[in-house]
Amino acid sequence: MSIHATEIRIATFNVSMEAENYLPKGQRGNQQVLIDRLADGKEPQIQAIARIIQLTRPDVIFLTEFDYIESPAQGVEAFLQNYLAVSQLGAAPIDYPYYFYAEVNTGQPSPFDLNRDGQSTGVGADAWGFGFYPGQYGMLLLSRYPILKDEVRTFRQFKWQDMPGHLTTVQADGSPWYEDAAWQQFPLSSKSHWDVPLTIDGKRLHVFASHPTPPVFDGPENRNGKRNHDEIRFWVDYISGEQGHYIYDDSGLAGGFDSQAPFVVLGDLNASTVEGDAIAAGIQSLLQHPRIQDPQPGSRGAAEHSPDNPFAAQHTAVWRMRADYVLPSKAGIQVLSSGVFWPAADEADYSLVKKRETSSDHRLVWVDMRLK
């Protein structure tokens, strides 16, 4: 909770709210499934997610796996009005007057056989980002502070081939995994990359938000692992001066982040330096970047969930890994405290995280900070 004007709480939360979660195994959803549940106001999983947000009360929160629904009234605004603005089991309602919500690459059909299974289906692994309909696994930024929407930069259409030194995916015989026509069109972002500037009591803060692909669900070619690495590396280059010269946004503006304004890199990055299947060099280069500070938040619940794991206290996902990050810049930001919403079995609201289906397989991660 904000204490005074320049002290803020920023969070990230993979809410696992894509429509497929509501359907029997083997069925594929569409946006209407989530639209109906957002309109209802009584969906137990979404009520639990809303209660977690109401209890932790971030000033700015980035949600992943929240389907992109073109009509805000049916998507983000329905969530704000029917869930966050309504007390969940006695928690105080919370209001976010500003939000940013845009298209993502998940579920966007390609005409190519991207996973080389002999079929070009246009969905699933043959979409530009894994998904079975456009907008699945989307992204949403909510803020109590104004968003400078005219200055937002999105990088959904940036081509992977345009990143110097990108990791190359090849077949067993050494030939390129992706056919040339597909590679010419292939976006780096599995969802998108956003640079969203906020104005907070006269101070400027940039939010760098993304949700790289899980580095699994592929084969020995490790195409998803390499994409995950390069999606994370994008932010390393973006904040590294001339190193990000090659970057261009969806409006055609070239170059990386050329400001000394404070920023926060956040999202479900699907990578850890010590666990999981990601190419560790990607996330390590971000965590060790000279402009970044890493608060390393933790929780009793995570430690209890994996009692024999030396890294357990910092886990942010039930499948036992630190996957979700809030990483403030060193310039302009003083970290005050940090944490993960993961109650232990003897703590209040443990029921919100006891089962995966109750809320999410990820936990909300927050950092309290003071803008200098």
Q: pTM above the 0.95 mark?
A: yes
Per-residue pLDDT of the chain (372 residues; tens, 9 = 90+): 444 558 999 999 999 997 666 666 666 778 888 999 999 999 999 999 999 999 999 999 999 999 999 999 999 999 999 999 999 999 999 999 999 999 999 999 999 999 999 999 999 999 999 999 999 999 999 999 999 999 999 999 999 999 999 999 999 999 999 999 999 999 999 999 999 999 999 999 999 999 999 999 999 999 999 999 999 999 999 999 999 999 999 999 999 999 999 999 999 999 999 999 999 999 999 999 999 999 999 999 999 999 999 999 999 999 999 999 999 999 999 999 999 999 999 999 999 999 999 999 999 999 999 999
Q: Which tens digit of pLDDT belongs to each residue from 283-312?
A: 999 999 999 999 999 999 999 999 999 999
CA-closest candidate to residue 322, choices 335, 344, 340: 340
- Beta strands 203-210 and 263-268, pairing class: parallel
Q: Which amino acid is at 130?
A: F
Host H or E run for residue 301 = helix 300-305
Domains in the chain with CATH codes: 7-371 (3.60.10.10)
- Helix (H) or strand (E) run with residue 280 in it: helix 280-287
Question: How far is the C-alpha of 120 from the C-alpha of 115, rounded, in Å?
Answer: 9
The per-residue DSSP string of 188-201 comes to S-SS-EEEEEEEET
Q: Which two tokens stand for residue 167?
A: 């990791």
